[in-house]
């Protein structure tokens, strides 16, 4: 094998951008790139290691021997080592052997910019180029319409390794998922899927949240282009793809980013900012320009090369606060004496500005659990610039409420209505995510009180309340058919439960709710603004009944929603209405097709009887533990 030859893909402009933290396409320069120099095929390697005094590429092509193929350090102080190695081909396994100036330390690292990695527990990078002929032109051309904030946004959260398994507990491949998962998501009427992290990670119990290969889809399920096929098939089926993205921390595995060149290169050198006590992991140095370029380039990479439609940014709260999970004396205030991490705030704003500027129709979503202001507001008015934020308060309060026996719910009406006091301070997504069905919390169904019928009725009630509450929706896999046990990442979901009518009824309920949500503009056009919601009565504590109006852009787009949080059938239940007309029942969670008892309403004419502070009203029959949704037809429309 020929020795390394001097070669570079970097221009002076690239270097200046990199040093300034403004190079957002680093994956086109750093890493391993198949190329041809003077008619000779090989690979250009480039790695950032400013504290190194020597860097070699070691791999199966040179028997993993240090010094056989050294890289050349650039003269411009960028800290980039590079070179062209003739004869190296696609599929070659490699790492970087880095000899540090710092205490003469030697590290052996996977390529931070590798497009493909060995299947864990092996840790080498693999030379690769991604070749896929995309067939999603129609989706990409209409993505702005499909992904807009005033459109339906119902997300199915998926852990690829445990959604469904083949015989012998074998995980499905990307290609198999491209058939089975796509068909299922389409059948269930979800608008989007969200994949828990697909970037390469070494440790299965981390569920993908401890990344070592930020630019490589995990090889557990196939090759990079196989993952492209999965995304492509979802797009062709009209389904958007969101990826969990983890810029908040990374593991200290020997082959990973930690202590990369014998120094704290990617992580903050101060343990108070660079070490995460909860997850025993390392925290990026958001104030270092080159690290910001690395992270923003990574976000851009998935949107660019894999046609991803959105990024759900993990653990934003842990990034925003210097005292997150730290005791007194374990953190240092910012320059103004506050607890906010100013470097993180600056980084997140820059990230969102770059994403929204360059990719039409995408969304970024913050998993942020505190009251930090303006997370989903534009940066030009002082916000962080995210498109949406998870509504963790709604999730917590709602699950706590539904755990209670219905007889006690009258004492907790404020818990279930409280979310509406702040529902429009952000663009909220309502999440019932994987975090809510692990570590002894029980499944969502497992939280529901009562006998078997009541437990399933309560679950239908919860989902119906969720889908008629303002905000986008997210449901973790298994929840859509009432998974009984907690989620176990080492095995398939309990699909056999669909042999039972009650579980089949939950599945039918979610199908119908997704269809209702997509069909009714009143449920999505103003889902993030106060103009889209109006209480009829939130104060009927004694009966544990809620009633409200959902509104779309057109005055005709109005829905009446009534929730009966008890197992008592309520006949002749009167609610006030904004105008005369007729009510047509269009959804009832007590439908027999869902496993309900079939208590329903025929077409109801309003009466000129004042009620709930309104001139008109109607008398309804409320099903037990049920939600009823009515279309409003005024007198003019009815003629």
Domain of residue 35: give its range. Answer: 12-109
In 131-250, where do the E strands start and end?
A: 154-158, 165-166, 170-171, 192-195, 199-200, 213-217, 240-245
Q: What confidence category does residue 141 fall into, taking pLDDT thresholds of 50, 70 and 90?
A: very high
Angle, helices 452-468 vs 392-403, to 10°: value is 150
Whether the predicted pLDDT of 210 surpasses 60: yes
User: DSSP labels for 295-311?
Assistant: HHHHHHHHHHHS---EE
pLDDT digits (tens, 9 = 90+) for 542-575: 999 999 999 999 988 999 999 999 999 999 999 9
Across the chain, mean pLDDT equals: 96
Tell me, yes or no, whether 604 lies in a domain. Answer: yes
266 sits in the region (left: phi over 0; alpha: psi -120 to 50; else beta) called: alpha
| Gap between the Cα atoms of 80 and 31, Å rounded | 11
pLDDT digits (tens, 9 = 90+) for 245-277: 999 999 999 999 999 999 999 999 999 999 999
Asked if residue 121 has a cis previous peptide bond (ω within 30° of 0), the answer is yes
pLDDT at position 1 is: 59
CB atoms within 10 A of CB 190: 27
Checking DSSP bridges between strand 275-276 and strand 281-282, what pairing results, if any?
Answer: antiparallel
CB atoms within 10 A of CB 473: 27
Q: Is 127 exposed, middle or buried (0-12, 13-18, 19+ CB in 10 A)?
A: buried
Give the chain's count of helices (H) and strands (E): 14, 31
Q: What does the buried/exposed string (b/e) look like for 346-358 if buried means 16 or more CB atoms within 10 Å of the residue's CB? A: ebbbbbbebbbee
CA separation, residue 262 to residues 95, 110, 418 (Å)? 15, 14, 51
160 in Cβ contact with 230 (< 8 Å): no
Whether the predicted pLDDT of 637 surpasses 50: no
Query: Are both 481 and 579 inside the same structural domain?
Result: no
The torsion angles phi and psi of 135, rounded to 5 degrees, stand at -125, 25
pLDDT at position 516 is: 98
pLDDT at position 293 is: 98
Query: Are both 427 and 335 inside the same structural domain?
Result: yes
Q: How far is CA 310 from the centre of its chain?
A: 8
Q: Which of 68, 244, 261, 314 is catalytic?
A: 314
Domain CATH for 66: 2.60.40.10
Q: How many domains, the chain? A: 3
In 174-317, where do the E strands start and end?
A: 192-195, 199-200, 213-217, 240-245, 275-276, 281-282, 310-313
Query: Are both 255 and 272 inside the same structural domain?
Result: yes
In 396-488, where do the E strands start and end?
A: 428-432, 472-476
616 in Cβ contact with 579 (< 8 Å): yes
Q: Which of 491, 523, 555 is the last residue of a domain?
A: 523
pLDDT digits (tens, 9 = 90+) for 420-467: 999 999 999 999 999 999 999 999 999 999 999 999 999 999 999 999
User: DSSP labels for 463-495?
Assistant: HHHHHHSSSEEEEETTGGGT--SPP-TTS---G
Tell me, yes or no, whether 141 lies in a domain. Answer: no
Q: Could you tell me the pTM of the whole model?
A: 0.96
Q: Which of 87, 109, 131 is the last residue of a domain?
A: 109
Query: Are both 176 and 79 inside the same structural domain?
Result: no
Tell me, yes or no, whether 612 lies in a domain. Answer: yes
DSSP H or E segment with residue 41: strand 40-48
Domain CATH for 295: 3.20.20.80
Query: Are both 517 and 543 inside the same structural domain?
Result: no
| Gap between the Cα atoms of 487 and 436, Å rounded | 9
Q: What confidence category does residue 103 fall into, taking pLDDT thresholds of 50, 70 and 90?
A: confident
Query: Are both 383 and 312 inside the same structural domain?
Result: yes
pLDDT digits (tens, 9 = 90+) for 270-319: 999 999 999 999 999 999 999 999 999 999 999 999 999 999 999 999 99
Q: Does the annotation count 367 as an active-site position?
A: yes
Query: Are both 187 and 293 inside the same structural domain?
Result: yes
pLDDT at position 638 is: 42
Tell me, yes or no, whether 456 lies in a domain. Answer: yes
Domain CATH for 605: 2.60.40.1180
Determine the average pLDDT of the residues in 173-190: 98
DSSP H or E segment with residue 630: strand 626-634
Query: Are both 469 and 598 inside the same structural domain?
Result: no
Query: Are both 205 and 345 inside the same structural domain?
Result: yes
| Gap between the Cα atoms of 379 and 376, Å rounded | 9
Please name every residue paired with 577 in a beta bridge, in sequence order, or none if there are none.
Answer: 616
Percent of the chain with pLDDT strictly greater than 90:
96
| Gap between the Cα atoms of 341 and 385, Å rounded | 16
Query: Are both 454 and 551 inside the same structural domain?
Result: no
Tell me, yes or no, whether 582 lies in a domain. Answer: yes
pLDDT at position 603 is: 86
Q: Does the annotation count 328 as an active-site position?
A: no
Three-state SS for 314-343 is CCHHHHHECCCCCCCCCCCCCCCCCCECHH
Query: Are both 452 and 498 inside the same structural domain?
Result: yes
Query: Are both 489 and 576 inside the same structural domain?
Result: no
Tell me, yes or no, whether 132 lies in a domain. Answer: no
Q: Which of 367, 397, 426, 585 is catalytic?
A: 367
Tell me, yes or no, whether 453 lies in a domain. Answer: yes
Q: Which of 489, 523, 557 is the last residue of a domain?
A: 523
Question: Is residue 91 helix, strand or coil?
Answer: coil
pLDDT digits (tens, 9 = 90+) for 306-332: 999 999 999 999 999 999 999 998 999
CA separation, residue 535 to residues 34, 468, 516, 578 (Å)? 61, 12, 20, 11
pLDDT at position 104 is: 87
| Gap between the Cα atoms of 354 and 334, Å rounded | 26
Q: How far is CA 275 from the centre of its chain?
A: 24
pLDDT at position 635 is: 58
Look up residue 5 and give its DSSP letter.
Answer: B
Here the contacts of 444-448 (C-beta below 8 Å, separation 24 or greater) are 444/399, 444/479, 444/482, 444/483, 445/482, 445/483, 445/484, 445/506, 446/484, 446/485, 446/486, 447/399, 447/402, 447/403, 448/402, 448/403
| Gap between the Cα atoms of 413 and 538, Å rounded | 8
Tell me, yes or no, whether 256 lies in a domain. Answer: yes
């Amino acid at each position: 094998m020929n020795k390394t030859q001097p070669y570079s893909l970097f221009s002076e402009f690239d270097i200046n951008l990199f040093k300034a933290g403004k190079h957002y396409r680093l994956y086109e320069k750093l890493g391993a790139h198949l190329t041809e120099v003077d008619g000779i095929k090989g690979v250009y390697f480039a790695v950032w290691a400013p504290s190194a005094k020597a860097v070699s590429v070691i791999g199966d092509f040179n028997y993993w021997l240090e010094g056989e193929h050294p890289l050349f350090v650039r003269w411009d102080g960028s800290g980039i080592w590079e070179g062209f190695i003739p004869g190296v081909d696609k599929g070659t396994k490699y790492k970087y052997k880095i000899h540090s100036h710092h205490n003469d330390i030697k590290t052996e690292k996977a390529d931070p910019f590798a497009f493909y990695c060995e299947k864990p527990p092996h840790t080498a990078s693999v030379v690769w180029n991604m070749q896929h002929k995309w067939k999603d032109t129609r989706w990409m051309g209409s993505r702005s319409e499909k992904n807009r904030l005033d459109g339906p946004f119902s997300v199915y959260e998926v852990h690829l390794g445990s959604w469904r398994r083949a015989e012998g507990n074998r995980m499905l491949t990307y290609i198999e998922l491209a058939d089975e998962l796509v068909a299922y998501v389409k059948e269930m009427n979800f608008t989007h899927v969200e994949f828990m992290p697909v970037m390469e990670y070494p440790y299965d119990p981390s569920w993908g949240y401890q990344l070592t290969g930020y630019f490589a889809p995990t090889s557990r399920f196939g090759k990079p282009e196989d993952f492209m096929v999965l995304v492509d098939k979802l797009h062709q089926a009209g389904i958007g793809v969101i990826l969990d993205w983890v810029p908040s921390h990374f593991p200290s595995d020997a082959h990973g980013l930690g202590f990369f060149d014998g120094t704290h290169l990617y992580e903050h050198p101060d343990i108070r900012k660079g070490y995460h006590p909860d997850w025993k992991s390392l925290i990026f140095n958001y104030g270092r320009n080159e690290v910001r370029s690395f992270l923003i380039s990574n976000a851009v990479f998935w949107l660019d090369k894999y046609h991803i439609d959105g990024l759900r940014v993990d653990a934003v709260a842990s990034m925003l606060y210097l005292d997150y999970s730290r005791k007194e004396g374990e953190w240092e205030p910012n320059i103004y004496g506050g607890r906010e991490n100013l470097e993180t705030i600056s980084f997140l704003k820059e990230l969102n500005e770059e994403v929204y500027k360059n990719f039409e129709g995408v969304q970024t979503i913050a998993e942020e659990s505190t009251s930090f202001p303006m997370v989903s507001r534009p940066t030009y008015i002082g916000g962080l610039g995210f498109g949406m934020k998870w509504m963790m308060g709604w999730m917590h309060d709602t699950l706590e409420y539904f755990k209670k026996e219905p007889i006690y719910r009258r004492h907790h009406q404020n818990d279930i209505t409280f979310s509406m006091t702040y529902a429009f301070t952000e663009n909220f997504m309502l999440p019932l995510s994987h975090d809510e069905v692990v570590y002894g919390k029980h499944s969502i169904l497992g939280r529901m009180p009562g006998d078997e019928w009541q437990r399933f009725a309560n679950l239908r009630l919860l989902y119906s309340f969720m889908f008629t509450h303002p905000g986008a929706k997210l449901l973790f896999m298994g929840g859509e058919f009432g998974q009984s046990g907690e989620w176990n990442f080492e095995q398939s979901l309990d699909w056999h439960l669909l042999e039972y009518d009650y579980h089949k009824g939950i599945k039918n309920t979610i199908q119908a709710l997704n269809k209702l949500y997509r069909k009714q503009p009143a449920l999505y056009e103003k889902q993030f603004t106060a103009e889209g919601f109006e209480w009829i009565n939130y104060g009927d504590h004694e009966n544990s009944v809620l009633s409200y109006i959902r509104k779309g852009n057109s005055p005709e787009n109005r829905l009446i929603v009534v929730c009966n949080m008890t197992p008592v059938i309520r006949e002749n239940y009167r609610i006030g209405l904004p105008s005369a007309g007729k009510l047509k029942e269009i959804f009832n969670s007590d439908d027999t097709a869902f496993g309900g008892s079939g208590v329903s309403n025929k077409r109801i004419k309003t009466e000129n009887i004042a009620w709930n502070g309104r001139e008109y009203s109607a008398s309804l029959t409320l099903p037990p533990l049920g939600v009823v949704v009515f279309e409003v037809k005024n007198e003019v429309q009815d003629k």
